[in-house]
A and B are shown apart, each in its own frame.
Chain A
Amino acid sequence: MPDLITRHEEGPSVSVTDTPAIRWFDELRKDDRPQVGGKCASLGELTSAGIPVPRGFAITVDAWEQVIEHGGLREQISSWTAGVDPGDNAALREVQRHAVEIIGAAPIPEHVESAIRAGYAELCARAGVAEVPVAVRSSAVAEDGEATSFAGQQETYLWVVGIDEVVARIRDCWASLFTPQAIAYRSKLDDQARYEAVLMSVAVQEMVDAEVAGVGFTVSPRTGDPSVMAVNASWGLGETVVSGEVTPDEFWIDKVQRSVRSRTITHKEQQCVPAPGGTGTATVPVPAERADEPSLDDQQLRELADIMVSVERHYGAPQDIEWAMARDADGSHRFLLLQSRPETVVTARRATTPAPSPVTSYLSMVQSLSSRAGGGS
């Protein structure tokens, strides 16, 4: 089972120097997905739409393919994966161990590595600090969220500081393609799909030291009502909300009036903060006096709502977003959008037509008469 198929087997070869190794978010659009993955393309698209998104860049799919070619990874990894039984977990873990080892030590082409170093240096310069904390995350090309999850394309490292750490975490993202689950998943695919399943980009994005963070839906997750938005929020970085470690505050927002329709303020015990050592994150107790306080006030919710509406309007479809609120030195706050994905679950559920009732039966006649009446207002 040759697991790591490169495009050389599929199409004409491309000169390694033709395509850039990194691309800045602000030069990306959603059409760039094949090169930078969905996450980076989306962040680029949002940046260009004027939505506040933390600065960052993508290590392109091409850069990853060059790493594969340059280091002879295809041959090495294929030799490990060739005879593995996808049902044999111990064997798969053994493959993973080797892959991590190989990718961790693989030589990175000079122009790729220097581009990454220059990118990070630029981020530090723009942030005005020597070593800016960043998030390093996988950015999958595939559209199907479930498939990318199986394929090991949803790695995230937070509060990564220093260029050597950044490069190490980028290698970790690449290596995450070789989890036992991912190898087993790809083994069931045909050649083309297996090729596509390892197309991955990596995002390097400035960290937001979030005072509050969470998720938001631009339609009601309850009914899909497009005039209603929902926000979950908790103290600290958004990881506690995304992972379900805390029960976040829940806010329902009237999209038309931009007002808060209802709120449930919870007891928020834990928060995710930068780790004491300066690298990585830690989950610590929320100070008692803050645990039961609302994490956002009405004014802040209105600001967030405005951003959510801008994002939805930009895409012309319901969105499911991750956001963070930073507190600047002068005490002012600002919202940043960390991620936006199309909302698909409720939207799909809503597409089913309700059963006709006695009322709808005659109202449909009224409706058809109303169009004939020509409105008349």
Chain B
Amino acid sequence: MTTIENEPTTTESGTAAPTGGRRFPDPYEVAAPAGAENWRDMYSYFNLFLEERREKDDKRTWFRNGMQFPEPMPPFDIATADSAYMSVGVMNTRVFALPPALGMDIRVVNGHMYMSALGVDDPAELERRAAEFGPRVGHYYANWPDLYARWEDKVRAQIAALQQLELPALGDFEPQESVLAGRGVTEANDLLVAFQAILASLDATWNLHSEMLNMGYAAYLNFLMTVKSHFPEIKDQQVAQMVSGVDVLLFRPDDELKRLAAKAIELGVADRVVGVTDLGALTQDLSSDEAGRQWLAEWEVSADPWFNFSYGNGFYHHHRSWNDDPTFPLGMVGEYVGRLRNGEDLSRPVAEVEAERDAVTARYRELIPEGEARQAFDDALGLSKTVFPYVENHNFYIEHWYMTVFWNKMRELGEVFVRFGFFDQVDDMFFLRRAELADAVADVQISWCSGGEPIGPSYWPKIVAERRRMLDVLRAELPPPALGPAPGAIVEPMTIMLWGITDEQVQKWLAAEDDAKVLEGFAGSPGVVEGRARVVMSPQGLDDLLQDEILVAPITSPSWTPVFARIKGAVSDIGGIMCHAAIVSREYGLPAVVGTGNATSAIRTGDLIRVDGDTGTVTILDA
């Protein structure tokens, strides 16, 4: 296979020319912050810029993926990045043979994730791939709803299998019944198998994550380009609006909170629910009577699966879900009770939104000449709407539901380590790389078998403490939005649609280095608003968010949806028009600018800012 690494040579389409040879920082020249000089020790060789590859790697453009990976990576957590990029890559490269785009290489700099797309430009290879691409993706497009239904079954099966996976007890003796059954193989081996099964499950489920996603985005990108060929001045958000489903899983957990609030009023337990943040205490109280028990049963119905909803995006071990920490959903139920009692209608105007969407679409359609052109629009729109339920809903299944189960299963393994004296706390495990964790599993096996002491407890704690300290240092650093030379043409559908990295965006990022007062991003949701900024770097910061502030975040998570009722506008560092902040802002009618690259560092909490969701600019009016 002939591949090209996207060097900034001027291609035939000439897209590299306007950057005028400008560069982002060289990945080999980015200094480690004081106190974190040894950050490379946390990551595998294949995630690092090696001096031996400098000739190759510093000629390429590397975009920071702050959307999925807003924080420096704890050593184990990078396994999720590896899995995610493998899945995107394998679908483009091997499964569907997308002609010009392969997958992405990833590297870590100062703990932050950077990615660089791989492409194909040899005409013969493009042709060979095109011959494979047609029948493969054609099958998916032609059978999309069926394949989506089967996909849901496959993911549910993965989730169920992982939940049912049992870790061995590793007590003083092998269970008697297994000896009497003459099993031979022991729990020491069960530990290794379970560890490998958890990792294999992660890998398999991430394959499923992207099974239909890249081609879903390709269909949407095709619609976007079709629309833009007729309406060159149309905003991406207007195109997104034509396709967006209104009733998507993203809103379901929030809807469940509203349902529970209404139920609490209906059952007469609202006063006992409002103001309570401890689910344990609430359960104890409500269990004492029939109405209370009924409400708790309703909570259980909502909680599985809908509260397997990450406070973050599921990629980090510390992104816990509503089920892991019900403080936020309980607080929101209380808030919704108050609003319902004030006579507010909390239901989303789904029918109106759908009618408006269809009316706008019809008006654009009318402006396209009848015949072939209008037919092409109809086809592209039809396919986009077919793929969209998947594109919008996969996120709940994988990033939220599956990943909640995954991290909790990993914690069961962590309890084994704690029991064997490796760590004080379960989460220390995530400060070991995947390969180091495999070593630690072997360490447990060896010592359990011998009856001797594991070596890990003498080895790991100080390494874990040092890595925790280093990550705190790295977290305070602002990573550049990109590294290396300005890129050539950007063609990969996920890059454009999900990460919002387009040729224009790169220009804006380059320009942003010159003017700190005005930030350029994507017009995510229309409208203009001025207000005080609240920079929220993690879900813990949500509690500080006041009514009518403007949320400024690296990226928002779907589980943050309820706070959009509180804010006047939203700004994110990363994200395209289909990112969560943009989708929810459009739903709530809030102006939003996404993909600014550096809003969370350029803006401080309390700054007066103007968010122009029509032009995609954020202006710092009074710092």
Measured CB to CB, the residues of A under 8 A from B are: 220, 222-228, 255-257, 261-262, 354-355, 357-363, 365-367, 369-377
CB-based contact B221/A359 at 8 Å: yes
Q: Is the CB of B130 within 8 A of A226?
A: no
User: Are A357 and B489 in touch, CB under 8 angstroms?
Assistant: yes
Indicate whether B153 reaches chain A with its CB closer than 8 angstroms.
Answer: no
Instruction: Using A227-B231, A256-B360 as known contacts, say yes or no to A377 and B381 having CB atoms under 8 A apart.
Output: yes
B134 touching A376, Cβ below 8 Å: no
11 A/B residue pairs, CB under 8 Å, sorted by A = A227-B230, A227-B367, A255-B367, A357-B491, A359-B221, A366-B137, A370-B141, A370-B219, A370-B382, A373-B383, A375-B385
A225-B233, A227-B231, A362-B130 are known contacts. Are A367 and B491 too (CB-CB below 8 A)?
no
Interface hits, B106-138 → A, CB 8 Å: 119, 121, 126, 130, 133-134, 137-138
In the complex, whether B439 has a CB less than 8 A from a CB of chain A is no
Chain A proximity of B172: nearest CB distance (Å): 61
Residues of B within 8 A of A369 (CB): 134, 137-138, 141-142, 383
Determine if A227 and B218 form an interchain contact, defined as CB atoms under 8 angstroms apart.
no
The CA-CA distance from A225 to B364 in the complex, in Å, is 11
Interface of chain B residues 214 through 231 with chain A (CB within 8 A):
218-219, 221-222, 225-226, 229-231
Bound-state CA distance A370–B119 (Å) is: 24
Q: Is B232 among interface residues, defined by CB-CB distance under 8 A?
A: yes
User: In the assembly, what is the distance between CA of A357 and CA of B100, in Å?
Assistant: 10
Q: Which residue of A lies closest to B385 (CB)?
A: A377
**How far does the alpha carbon of A220 sit from the alpha carbon of B238 in the complex, in Å?**
17
Task: Please report the C-alpha to C-alpha distance between residue A224 and residue B363 in the assembled complex, in whole angstroms.
Answer: 17
* Chain B residue nearest in CB terms to A367: B222
Question: By the criterion of a CB under 8 Å from any partner CB, how many residues of chain B are at the interface?
Answer: 49
Bound-state CA distance A226–B233 (Å) is 9
Q: Is B376 an interface residue (CB 8 A)?
A: yes
Report chain A residues within 8 Å CB of B133.
362, 365
Note all chain B residues with C-beta closer than 8 A to A375.
Answer: 378-379, 381-383, 385-386
Task: Judge whether B142 and A373 touch: CB under 8 Å.
Answer: yes
Which of A256, A361, A366 has the largest number of chain B CB atoms within 10 A?
A366
C-alpha gap A355/B489 in the complex (Å): 14
Within 8 A of A (CB), among B274-295: none
Question: Would you call A376 and B130 a contact (CB within 8 A)?
Answer: no
Q: How far is the CA of A355 from the CA of B15 in the complex (A)?
A: 12
Provide the bound-state CA to CA distance between A258 and B242, in Å: 17
- How many Å from the CB of A373 to the closest CB on chain B? 4
Shortest C-beta distance, B491 to chain A (Å), equals 4
> What's the least CB distance linking B345 to chain A, in Å?
25
Asked if B234 lies at the interface with its beta carbon under 8 angstroms from chain A, I say: yes
Q: How far is the CA of A330 from the CA of B491 in the complex (A)?
A: 59
Residues of B within 8 A of A228 (CB): 231, 233
B145 and A227 contact, CB distance less than 8 A: no
Interface string of B147-189 (1 = CB under 8 A from A): 0000000000000000000000000000000000000000000
List CB contacts (< 8 Å) of B66-90 with chain A.
none
Q: List chain A residues, Cβ under 8 A from B232.
A: 220, 223-225
A261 to B385, CA, bound (A): 27
Q: Is the CB of B142 within 8 A of A372?
A: yes
9 A-B pairs besides A373-B386, A377-B385 with CB distance below 8 A are: A224-B232, A227-B231, A354-B229, A357-B13, A359-B100, A360-B225, A370-B379, A375-B386, A376-B382
- Compute how far the CA of A256 lies from the CA of B382 in the bound complex, rounded to whole angstroms: 20
Contact of B380 among A359, A362, A367 (CB under 8 A): A367
Interface centre among B100, B121, B225, B232 (most CB of A within 10 A): B232
> In angstroms, how far is the closest chain B Cβ from the Cβ of A224?
8
Is B105 located at the chain interface by the 8 A CB criterion?
Answer: no
Instruction: Please judge, given known A-B contacts A228-B233, A361-B99, A367-B380, whether A373 and B141 are in contact too, CB under 8 Å.
Output: yes
Check if B98 is an interface residue, CB within 8 A of chain A.
Answer: yes
A174 to B562, CA, bound (A): 73
CB pair B360 A257 closer than 8 Å: yes
Residues of A within 8 A of B26 (CB): none
Chain A CB within 10 Å — which of B144, B383, B614 has the most?
A: B383
CB B190 to nearest CB in A, in angstroms, measures 47
